[in-house]
Amino acid sequence: MPRPIRAAISPGGGAPPVIEDLLLADPLPDEVVLRIEAAGICHTDLGVGAWSEEPRVLGHEGAGTVVETGSAVTRLRKGDRVLATFGFCGTCPNCAGGRPAYCFDGIALNLEGARAEPPLTRMDGSAVKGAFFQQSCFATHALATERNCVKLPGWLDAYVAAPFGCGIQTGAGAVFNQLGALTHRPLLVIGAGAVGCAAIMAGRIMGCDPLIVVEPVAARRELAISLGASHAFAGSEADWAAQVVELTAGGVTAALDTAGRQATFEAALAALHSGGTLGVLTLPGDFAQPVPHPGGIDFLTKRIVGVIEGDSVPETFLPRLFAYHGGGDLPVDRLIRTYPFADIASAFADAASGAVIKPVLTFEEEHS
């Protein structure tokens, strides 16, 4: 029987989300119903809310408790505390080969919210688009698949766990899994938001040296240094890439560009040494347009990889990150500011302006 819930609907066109009463469908055989305790706000939520032309419930960093299970669920039980992460089919060649972040159906399952039946309806019966990243966790309750849920250790607070579902595993996974970062070799991180800070912390854990951050905001540069960066550039210097090359005696082995601008893309390439790897979260410009690049032999010696969820296998990688956090090596809590669910519009605004690195919604008042 459909469950009454409260959910934040993003109307589309960048309008702020509005909380409404909705009905949540019964779980399909492979799904669970989560009572959401905390939900991180990611820039993907802002971006999709801006370009979407239809109302939808967003949210893809949800932590909570299983309150109902589908008939085919075997690994999770009612009462389990879990973190919901990205969706994946589990059967395509990439999923079967240990790369679920690059699932053949990843775009449909995550950005488009593909599901066999509409997950959300208004009280009048009209459907509202949901299943975003197979969760749509900006709500008091959400549906998730058993595949995209990872059990939480009892000591980990939900509000700290939530950002691990996307932003933290993306930045840390880029360094651990994708960029070819090496101990005692230089790592460059452009942008000290949640993903960039996670990459900096992972680079410190790996022993990358020097560990360089480029970030225009002074307070974030200071934070990056405190998290493990050895050098920080504002990025306003016209020759900062040349300065990085000089500092590293030839260029960096690995770079992560979280800014997604043409200038940072070109500078990151220039800062790499031959054979180095640049990870990008998005490429600059319109998706339909080619991205200018410098060309030449030097360009051909370098590798560019698209970073999606840090190429993570969540069931094994997220517990590793939880352990780093528990040991003090991944202090994600330093990035977080919490907001009651009722203040989601303010949290969105603070995320968009950069006033807060990682806003996290909490739901105590909704469940009291």
Let me know: does 52 contact 10? Beta carbons within 8 Å.
yes
Would you say residue 63 has pLDDT above 90? yes
Query: What's the mean pLDDT when you consider all of the chain?
Result: 96
| 206, HSE (Cβ side, Cα atoms, 13 Å) | 27
Helix (H, G, I), strand (E, B) or coil at 2: coil
Cα within 13 Å of Cα(292), Cβ side: 8
From its phi and psi, is residue 334 left (phi > 0), alpha (psi between -120 and 50) or beta? alpha
Tens-digit pLDDT profile for residues 225-239: 999 999 999 998 889
- Reading the block at residue 83, the tokens are 């973190």
Residues 6+ apart with CB under 8 A from 58: 8, 10, 17, 45, 48, 49, 132, 136, 138
Burial 144-183 (b: 16+ CB within 10 A, else e): bbbbbbbbbeeebebbbbbbbbbbbbbbbbbbbbbbebee
Structure token digits, residue 285: 């410009």
For residue 272 the two structure tokens come to 């790499």
pLDDT of residue 294: 84
pLDDT band for position 1 (cuts 50, 70, 90):
confident
What span, in angstroms and rounded, lies between the C-alpha atoms of 167 and 327? 20
Region of residue 317 (phi > 0: left; psi between -120 and 50: alpha; otherwise: beta): alpha
What gap in Å lies between CA 236 and CA 50, rounded to an integer? Answer: 28
pLDDT for 304 equals 95
Residue 191 in contact with residue 215, Cβ under 8 Å? yes
242-276 confidence digits (pLDDT tens): 999 999 999 999 999 999 899 999 999 999 999 99
Stretch 88-102: mean pLDDT:
98
- Name the band, by pLDDT with cuts 50, 70 and 90, for residue 292: confident
Domains and CATH numbers, the chain: 3-165+331-367 (3.90.180.10), 168-310 (3.40.50.720)
Distance CA 164, CA 85 (A): 8
Beta-sheet pairing, 31-40 with 358-362: antiparallel
